Amino acid sequence: MPSSKLEITSRQDRGSTACRKLRTQGLVPAVIYGHQQQALPVSISEHDLGLLLAHGARLLDISLDSKPEKVLVKDVQYDHLGAHIVHVDLIRVSLDEKIRLAIPIKLRGAMDAASHGGVVVQLLAEVEVECLAGNIPEDLQVQIGRLKLGDSIRVKDLSLPAGATMLSDPEALVVTVRAVEVEELVAPVEAEAAVAEPEVISRPVEEESKDKDKDKDRDKDKGKDKGKEQED
C-alpha cells in the first residue's frame, strides 16, 4: 500500500473546548505516538483525511515543522451518526519495521447460488497480520466464483504478501457455502362448507284457513261439553 501525503499542524490548546473549536473550523484533533517520543497533539483537515480514508489509506507521509515522518492510522473515532471524524490516533513508523494491524477481507467474484442450491456466508471480516510498514496490504481478496455447496475457505487458505505473517487462527472459517433453508409454506385449505339453510315449506292459504276453522269448531264443542257437565 503506497503512502499518502497529508499536511498536519501542531496545536497547543488542549481539552474538550479547544477540540470543539477545531471541529467548527473543519479540523480534526489528533495525537501522534510512537518511537519512544512524547505524544504530540496535532490537527488535520477533516476533508483531506476523510478522502484518504475513503480510499483505504493507512500509511501517511506527513510534514511537521519541516520534518518529514511516516505515520500509521491507528484509530479513527466518528460522531454518533458516523458522519464526521472527531479524533484520530497516529503511530510513527519506519518502512523497515514490522507492525501488527487488522487487514479487511474482501470477497471477489460471484457464485451461482441458484444452480448449487447454496448461499455464500462470510464469517470473518478481517484478520490480524504482521508485516513491514512499507508493505501493508490494502485488503485480502478471496475469490468465491468457483465455490460449491459445502465448500469453505479458512484463514490458512488466504494469500499474504511476501514478508507478511498471519496472526489470526489459521483454522478459523472465513467463507462457507451453506444450503438454503427453504420452508415449505403450505397454504391452509379452508373447506367452503356450504351451510344449507332449512327449506321453509309454506302451505296454501286455503288449507291454513280450513285448519283454523276446524280448531274453532273443536273449541266450541269443548265448551258445550263443559256446559252439560255443569248442568248434570
CB 79 within 8 A of CB 23: no
Listed in sequence order, the residues at least 6 apart from 58 whose beta carbon sits closer than 8 Å to its beta carbon are 1, 72, 73, 101, 136, 138
Q: How many residues make up the chain in this entry?
A: 232
Q: Which of 138-152, 160-174, 204-218 has the lowest mean pLDDT?
A: 204-218
Q: What is the pLDDT of residues 116-152, one digit of tens each?
A: 677 889 999 999 999 998 888 889 999 988 888 888 9
Band (54; pLDDT cuts 50, 70, 90):
confident
Kindly report the number of other CB atoms within 10 A of residue 125's CB atom. Answer: 10
Average pLDDT value for the chain = 80
Per-residue pLDDT reduced to its tens digit, 73-122: 989 999 998 889 999 999 999 888 999 999 999 999 876 655 667 788 99
DSSP state of 169: -
CA–CA distance, 70 with 184 (Å, rounded to integer): 59
SS (H, E, C) 95-156: CCCEEEEEEEEEEECCCCHHHHCEEEEECCCEEEEEEEHHHCCCCEEEECCCCCCCCEEEHH
Please state the φ and ψ torsions of residue 160, each to the nearest 5 degrees. Answer: -110, 150
Do 103 and 165 contact (CB within 8 A), yes or no?
no
Q: What is the predicted pLDDT for the residue at 57?
A: 84
Neighbours of 153 (CB within 10 A): 22
Contact at 8 Å (CB) between 63 and 7?
Answer: yes
172: helix, strand or coil: coil
CB of 20 closer than 8 Å to CB of 87 = no
Torsion sign, CA atoms 174, 144, 131, 32: negative
CA distance 127 to 155: 8
Cα distances (angstroms) measured from residue 60 to each of 39, 126, 178:
17, 21, 41
Superfamily classification of domain 95-181? Ribosomal protein L25, C-terminal domain (2.170.120.20)
Q: Output the pLDDT for position 16.
A: 84
Cα 56 to the center of its chain, rounded Å: 21
Pick the CATH number of 1-93 from 3.40.30.10, 3.10.290.10, 2.40.240.10, 2.60.120.10: 2.40.240.10
pTM: 0.64
- How far apart CA 188 and CA 215 sit, in angstroms, is 57
Q: How confident is the model at residue 219 (pLDDT cuts 50, 70, 90)?
A: low
Domain ranges of the chain: 1-93, 95-181
